[in-house]
Structure 1
């Protein structure tokens, strides 16, 4: 999956979808960290607010939990798509 810079979906939604797919396929297993905002900025070439919005969307969808000072982690049992 790659970002569609000219597509109708906001970049943060596209990034969240890519990260959610990685959670689903086991790239990021339960109880393990997902990329930090800085990591997302570096990998996808987006702004920090965009990276933050992508992580927040994953939190809202119940896929990750954010631990202050530690990062964002995949939940024990991600909801099935």
Structure 2
């Protein structure tokens, strides 16, 4: 799954969709860290605010929880 830089969907939503799919398929298992903002910036070639917005969207959807100073982790039982 790739990110469409010229598509109509906001980049952060596309990145959140990629990360959601990885959570669903077990790439990022429960209680394990998802990529950091810096990791998302590097992998998807986006700005840090875009990476932050993607992670925030996952938090709002109840898929990850952010632990201050440690990173963002997949919740125990993500809602698919």
Normalised TM-score (structure 2): 0.96
How far did 1:8 drift?
A: 0.7
Q: CA deviation at 1:6?
A: 1.0
Tell me if the contact between 2:3 and 2:15 (Cα under 8 Å) persists in the aligned partners. yes
Number of corresponding residues: 79
Q: Distance in 1 between matches of 2:63 and 2:12?
A: 15
Q: Which runs of 5+ in 2 are unaligned?
A: none
> Structure 2 CA distance, aligned partners of 1:22 and 1:67?
20
Is the contact made by 2:62 and 2:79 (CA closer than 8 Å) also made in structure 1?
no
RMSD (Å) for aligned C-alpha atoms: 0.7
Q: Offset of 1:5 from its aligned partner? A: 0.9
Q: Which residue of 2 aligns with 1:60?
A: 60
Secondary structure, aligned partner of 2:62:
coil
1:12 Cα deviation after fit: 0.2
d(CA) in 2 for partners of 1:2, 1:32: 23
The runs of at least 4 consecutive aligned structure 1 residues that moved more than 4 Å come to none
How far 1:13 sits from its partner (Å)? 0.2
- Kindly state the Cα deviation for residue 80 of structure 1 after the two structures are TM-superposed: 3.6
SS in 1 for 2:42: helix
TM-score normalized by the length of structure 1: 0.95
Stretches of structure 1 lacking an aligned partner (at least 5 in a row): none
